[in-house]
Structure 1
Amino acid sequence: MGSHSSAVARIPDADDIRRETGFSQASLLRLYHRFRSLDRNKKGYLSRADLQQIGALAVNPLGDRIIDSFFPDGSLQVDFPGFVRVLAHFRPINEEDTRTRDPKEPEPLNSRMNKLRFAFQLYDQDRDGKISQQEMLQVLRLMVGVQVTEEQLESIADRTVQEADEDGDGAVSFLEFTKSLEKMNIEQKMSIRILK
Structure 2
Amino acid sequence: MTGDEASTVAVPVDLMEKLPELRENPFRRRICEVFSKDGKGNLTFEDFLDLLSVFSEQAPRDIKVFYAFRIYDFDNDQYIGMGDLEVALRLLTHNELTPEEVAQVCEKAIEEADVDGDGKLSYMEFEHVILRAPDFFSTFHIRI
Does the pair score TM above 0.5? yes
Shift of 1:138: 1.1
Shift of 1:77: 4.0
- Alignment of 1:187 onto 2:133: no
Q: How does 1:20-169 map to 2 (within 5 A)?
A: 44-74=9-39, 77-93=42-58, 110-169=59-118
Alpha-carbon distance in structure 2 between the residues aligned to 1:116 and 1:90? 11
Q: Give the % identical residues.
A: 28
CA deviations over 1:117-169 (Å, ceiling 9, x no partner): 11111111222110011110111011112432211111000110111100011
Quick one: structure 1 residues 141 and 76, their matched pair in 2 at CA, closer, same or farther if it must change by over 3 Å?
closer
Three-state SS of the structure 2 residue aligned to 1:74 is coil
Equivalences, count:
139
Give unpaired runs (5+ residues) of structure 2: none
Shift of 1:79: 2.3
Shift of 1:73: 4.6
Alpha-carbon distance in structure 2 between the residues aligned to 1:174 and 1:158? 18
Contact 2:72 2:85 in 1 (8 A): yes
Quick one: structure 1 residues 188 and 50, their matched pair in 2 at CA, closer, same or farther if it must change by over 3 Å?
same
> Which residue type is aligned with residue 10 of structure 2?
Y
Alpha-carbon distance in structure 1 between the residues aligned to 2:90 and 2:116? 26
Alpha-carbon distance in structure 1 between the residues aligned to 2:2 and 2:109? 44
Cα root mean square deviation, aligned: 2.3
Contact 2:33 2:42 in 1 (8 A): no
Give unpaired runs (5+ residues) of structure 1: 1-9, 13-42, 94-109
Out of 130-139 and 45-54, give the one that drifted further. 45-54
Structure with the greater alpha carbon radius of gyration: 1
Alpha-carbon distance in structure 1 between the residues aligned to 2:137 and 2:27? 19
Q: TM-score, normalised by structure 2?
A: 0.83
Contact 2:54 2:64 in 1 (8 A): yes
Alpha-carbon distance in structure 2 between the residues aligned to 1:133 and 1:163? 13
Q: TM-score, normalised by structure 1?
A: 0.63
Alpha-carbon distance in structure 1 between the residues aligned to 2:40 and 2:80? 23
